[in-house]
Amino acid sequence: MASVLPTGEPAPADGSLPPEALRGLGSRPFGVYVHVPFCATRCGYCDFNTYTPGELGSAASPASWLDGLRAELGLAARVLGQAPPADTVFVGGGTPSLLGAGGLADVLDAVRDAFGLAGGAEVTTEANPESTSPEFFAGIRAAGYTRVSLGMQSAAPHVLATLDRRHTPGRPVAAAGEARAAGFEHVNLDLIYGTPGETDDDLRASLDAALNAGVDHVSAYSLIVEDGTALARRVARGELPAPDDDVLADRYEIIDTTLTAAGLTWYEVSNWAASPGARCRHNLGYWLGADWWGAGPGAHSHVGGVRWWNLKHPARYAATLAEGRSPAAAREVLSADDRRLERVLLELRLADGLPVEVLDAGGRREARTAAAEGLLDPVALGSTNGAPGRCVLTARGRLLADAVVRRLVG
C-alpha cells in the first residue's frame, strides 16, 4: 500500500542511459538519494513507499535491502562511467533512523565506495525523533553526516494522535537539541499543518516549539489526504473533516509570518531557512534540474533529461538486483517541451524564481498580468537594471503557485 508509480516506457535491463543524457554529467550538481523503505508502524496519512516488519515478513530485511543498495550503487557507477563525486547525499524514507547509526554509516560508506563525496558535500538523513538519542547523533556525525531532518509534524498531542505519530510532543525539540549538541549545524524540523482538529493556536505552539529548538531550517507541508490511505478512508466515512483550503491558506500565512519574524526566510514554497547556507542543497537539486541517482525501492532518479523510477517492493527490488539486472521499473526521456514545462513548474516554487526567458510570448504576457494581480513580484519581473527578469511569487502567489504555473504555460 503506497503511492502509485507513474507509467513510462520500459527501462533497459542493464540500466544503461542514452549517451546524450550522460553528456554534461559533472557540470551540474550531482546528488544521491537513498530510500529506506522501513517504518516501525504505518502512519494513517502517509502514502510513501514504506513497509512495516509485519507487512514484509521474511520477504525482505534491512540486510537484504543493504545488499541490494550496494549492488544498485555499483551498477550506477558503471552506468555513469566517469561519475562525479556526490555533492549531496540524502537518506530518506521510511524511517532511516530505524537502521541505527551503524546502519546509516554503512549506507554512507556504500555511497562513498561508488562515487566518493565532493569536498563540503551535504549529507542529510531523515530521522524520527523517537528512534534517536545523543549516541545516535554522535554516531552519524562521526560517520560523516552533516545535516539532520526530523519529523516533528506538530507539538499538539491530539494532532499527533490523528496523524498516528508515536513520539511524545516534547521529543522532536529534545532530539533537535541533541543533534546540535552532537555538532550538527544544520537541523531541519518537518511540520504538517491543516490536520483535522488542529487550531491556529496549535500551529502557533508548534512553530514556537520549533523555533525554540534553535533549528536553522523548517519545512511545512499542508496535510494532503492521499487516495488509498487510512486517513482518506476516515475522511470518506465522515469520521474526520477534509482539510479546508481557506483554513490551509490561513495556516500557511501564520507559518510564513511567524518564521519570517524569527529570521527564517522562504526559499521554496514549503521551505524556510535561516541563511542561504542553511538551504537544503539536495532538495534544491530537484527543483533546479540537477542530476541525481535515487537508489532503493521506488526511488526516482534524473540524469540529463531522463527520469526513471525503481520497483517499489523491497523483495522484488532485492531479487532483481541479485540477478544482476537494473531495478528500474520504467523511465521517460523528456522532450524539450516536457523540460520547459518542468522548469516552469519547479523553478517557480523557488524564491530565486523562474527566468522570464523560459516562457514563450504568451507566458510572458500572463506573467505581466499575474504581476498586476499581485501574484508575481513586479520588481523582479521588470528588468530595471538590465538584468533578465524573473518570475518570483508573492506571498499570495505562493498559495496559488499551481494556478500561476497553469497560466504561464498556457
The residues that touch another protein, with contacts defined as CB under 8 A, are 3, 6, 8, 33, 35, 48, 92, 220-222, 224, 245-246, 248-249, 252, 269-270, 286-287, 292, 294, 299-302, 307, 309, 332, 338, 341-342, 345-346, 349, 373, 375, 396, 398-403, 405-406, 409-410
- Closer to another protein by Cβ: residue 33 or 136: 33
CB of 332 to another protein, least distance (A): 6
Q: Smallest distance from the beta carbon of 23 to another protein, in angstroms?
A: 20
Say how far apart CA 68 and CA 327 lie, in whole Å.
Answer: 9
Q: Shortest distance, CB of residue 5 to another protein, whole angstroms?
A: 8
> Helical H runs in 115-269?
134-143, 157-162, 171-181, 200-212, 230-236, 245-261
Within 8 A by CB and 6+ apart from 263, the residues are: 274
Measured CA to CA, the distance from residue 99 to residue 18 in angstroms comes to: 35
Long-range contacts, 298-301 (Cβ 8 Å, 24+) = 298/2, 298/5, 298/35, 298/37, 298/49, 299/33, 299/34, 299/35, 300/33, 301/33
Closer Cβ to another protein, 65 or 287, answer by number: 287
Cβ closer to another protein: 47 or 202? 47
CB of 238 to another protein, least distance (A): 14
CB 12, min distance to another protein, A: 18
Angle between helices 200-212 and 171-181 (to 10 degrees): 20
Cell of 207: 512553530
The amino acid occupying position 314 is P
Three-state DSSP class for residue 51: strand
Q: Closer to another protein at the Cβ: 114 or 399?
A: 399
Comparison of 101 and 255: residue with beta carbon closer to another protein: 255
CB contact set of 326 (below 8 Å; sequence gap of 6+): 11, 12, 13, 14, 15, 75, 320
Q: Minimum distance between the CB of residue 327 and another protein, rounded to whole angstroms?
A: 15
Could you tell me which of 90, 175, 92, 86 has the C-alpha nearest to residue 124? 90
Q: Which residue has the cell 549516541?
A: 135
Between residues 139 and 296, which has the closer beta carbon with respect to another protein? Answer: 296
Q: How many helical (H) and strand (E) elements, i.e. helices and strands, does the chain have?
A: 17, 14
The nearer residue to another protein, 25 or 249, going by C-beta atoms, is 249
User: In whole angstroms, how close is the CB of 57 to another protein at the nearest point?
Assistant: 26
Reduced 3-state DSSP string for 12-31: CCCCCCCHHHHCCCCCCCEE
Specify the residue, 178 or 256, whose C-beta has the smaller distance to another protein.
256
Output 298 or 389, the one with its CB closest to another protein.
298
Q: Three cell numbers at 73?
A: 550503487
Smallest separation (angstroms) from another protein to the CB of 1:
16
Q: How far is the CB of 404 from another protein (least distance, A)?
A: 8
